[in-house]
Structure 1
Amino acid sequence: MSVTRTTPNNETLVRFRGIQKSYDGETLIVKDLNLDIEKGEFLTLLGPSGSGKTTSLMMLAGFEMPTAGEIQLGGKAINNLPPHKRGIGMVFQNYALFPHMTVAENLAFPLSVRRIGKDERQKRVNRALEMVQLGSFGGRYPNQLSGGQQQRVALARALVFEPELVLMDEPLGALDKQLREHMQMEIKHLHQSLGVTVVYVTHDQSEALTMSDRVAVFHQGEIQQIAAPRTLYEEPHNAFVAQFIGENNRLSGTLQRLGNGECAVKLAGGEQIQALPVKVGQVGEPVSLSIRPERIRLGAASTACTNQVPGKIEEFIYLGDHVRIRMQVCGRDDFIVKQPIAELDTSLKPGDTVALGWQAEHIRALDPLTE
Structure 2
Amino acid sequence: MASVSFANVSKTYDGKTSVVDNLNLDVKEGEFLSMLGPSGSGKTTCLMMLAGFETATSGEIYLDGRPINRVAPQRRNIGMVFQNYALFPHMTVAENLAFPLQVRNISKADIAQKVNRALEMVELPHLGNRRPAQLSGGQQQRVAVARALVFDPKLVLMDEPLGALDKQLREQMQYEIKRIHERLGVTIVYVTHDQAEALTMSDTIAVFNFGKIQQLAKPAEVYETPSNSFVAQFIGENNMLPGTIVERSGNLCKVMLANGDTIAALAVTDAQAGGATQLSLRPERIVVDPAPDGGDRTLVTGKIVDQIYVGDHSRIQVRVFGGHEFIVKVQNASLRRTFSKGEAITLGWHATDCRALDAAAGHSSGPVQ
The bucket for the TM-score relative to the shorter chain is over 0.9
Asked if 1:162 corresponds to 2:152, the answer is yes
Asked if 1:207 corresponds to 2:197, the answer is yes
Question: May I ask how many residue pairs the two structures share in their alignment?
Answer: 361
Residue type at the aligned position of 1:111: L
Match of 1:350 among 337, 341, 354: 341
8 Å CA contact retained: 2:288, 2:347: yes
Provide the aligned C-alpha RMSD in A.
Answer: 1.1
Deviations 1:14-47 (A, max 9, x none): 1100000001111100001000000001000000
Distance 1:273 1:213 in 2: 34
Distance 2:293 2:125 in 1: 60
Cα 1:125–1:73 change in 2 (3 A) is: same
Match of 1:144 among 134, 139, 143: 134
Asked if 1:27 corresponds to 2:17, the answer is yes
Residue type at the aligned position of 2:163: G
1:176 deviation in Å? 0.1
Residue type at the aligned position of 2:267: P
Query: Secondary structure at 1:149's aligned position in 2?
Result: helix
Residue in 1 that maps onto 2:367:
none
Distance 2:190 2:292 in 1: 41
Deviations 1:242-281 (A, max 9, x none): 1100110001111000122110000011111000000131
Match of 1:326 among 312, 317, 334: 317
Residue in 1 that maps onto 2:75:
85
Residue type at the aligned position of 2:355: R
Distance 1:163 1:37 in 2: 15
8 Å CA contact retained: 1:265, 1:275: yes
Q: Can you give the 5+ residue segments of structure 2 that lack an aligned partner in the other structure?
A: 363-369
Q: What is the correspondence of 1:36-75 to structure 2 with a 5 Å cutoff? A: 36-75=26-65
- Once structures 1 and 2 are overlaid, which stretch shifts more, 202-211 or 335-344? 335-344
Residue in 2 that maps onto 1:221:
211
Deviations 1:164-220 (A, max 9, x none): 000000000000000000000000000000000000000000000000000000000
Distance 2:2 2:219 in 1: 20
Distance 1:129 1:75 in 2: 32
1:342 deviation in Å? 2.3
Residue in 2 that maps onto 1:14:
4
Match of 1:317 among 292, 303, 308: 308
Cα 1:331–1:219 change in 2 (3 A) is: farther
Distance 1:133 1:267 in 2: 56
TM-score when scaled to structure 2? 0.96
8 Å CA contact retained: 2:290, 2:348: no
The percentage of counterpart residues that share the same residue type is 60
Cα 1:302–1:33 change in 2 (3 A) is: farther
Distance 2:355 2:52 in 1: 40
Residue in 1 that maps onto 2:366:
none
Residue type at the aligned position of 1:41: E
Cα 1:181–1:277 change in 2 (3 A) is: same
Asked if 1:250 corresponds to 2:240, the answer is yes
Q: Can you give the 5+ residue segments of structure 1 that lack an aligned partner in the other structure?
A: 1-10
Distance 2:320 2:35 in 1: 34
8 Å CA contact retained: 1:13, 1:74: yes
Runs of 4+, deviation exceeding 4 Å: none
